Chains A and B, each alone.
Chain A
Amino acid sequence: SQQGEEDPQALSIQEGENATMNCSYKTSINNLQWYRQNSGRGLVHLILIRSNEREKHSGRLRVTLDTSKKSSSLLITASRAADTASYFCAPFNGLGNDMRFGAGTRLTVKP
């Protein structure tokens, strides 16, 4: 099965700065999804990027995908304190029930 591995495990920045989180995976994918989780709450879907896409935007979020390196990155621009959360990637290769979450990146945005 395929699991995304997020890096770094934890990230602390000041409000207004950009935050970049990375995700690596091992096999070819159909798509890769990013989710956010506020402390103790359910995950919320952020972006889905398909294997034939290289970049996708949603508001202050920018996701890139490099299938040759089997990696993806999530960039949050002009971060806010409300962006403080854990972020997870979930690669999906289209086979079986292959959508696994890693341990996530814990982002702290200081006001």
Chain B
Amino acid sequence: EAQVTQNPRYLITVTGKKLTVTCSQNMNHEYMSWYRQDPGLGLRQIYYSMNVEVTDKGDVPEGYKVSRKEKRNFPLILESPSPNQTSLYFCASSLDRGKNEQFFGPGTRLTVL
């Protein structure tokens, strides 16, 4: 089944404790991206990747890192999480940017205390 998976689905952590949210897709998509969703603000893009070893900042990259060492994986790293990073996070992938539909993961609800 074609899908985007994210782990963990739920995470409660404390300020400053490094964490990684994994994202994996099995559709051989070149394009992957991370979004955060906050009430009233819609989805805001954090980082995106056009292909392996090619990543770039989205609209709200501060406090986040990503890597794209393999085509299927695109982990999101929070080196020192803060309470303002409490949010619902989505990973997405598509064949290419914008010209085809994006497939979204189920989301990761992160709470930083």
A residues adjacent to B (C-beta < 8 A): 1, 30-31, 33, 35, 40-45, 48, 88, 92, 94, 97-104
Asked if B104 and A42 make an inter-chain contact with CB atoms under 8 angstroms apart, the answer reads yes
* Residues of chain A lying within 8 A (CB to CB) of residue B75: none
* Residues of chain A lying within 8 A (CB to CB) of residue B100: 48
Shortest beta-carbon contacts, A-B, top 10: A42-B104, A92-B98, A45-B101, A103-B42, A101-B43, A99-B98, A43-B104, A101-B42, A102-B42, A42-B106
Q: Which of A31, A88, A103 interacts with B40 by CB under 8 Å?
A: A103
B residues adjacent to A (C-beta < 8 A): 4, 33, 35, 40-43, 45, 48, 50, 56, 58-59, 88, 90, 92, 97-107, 109
What are 17 A-B contacts defined by CB distance under 8 Å? Answer: A35-B102, A40-B88, A40-B107, A40-B109, A42-B4, A42-B105, A42-B107, A43-B104, A88-B42, A92-B97, A97-B33, A97-B98, A100-B45, A101-B42, A102-B42, A103-B40, A104-B42
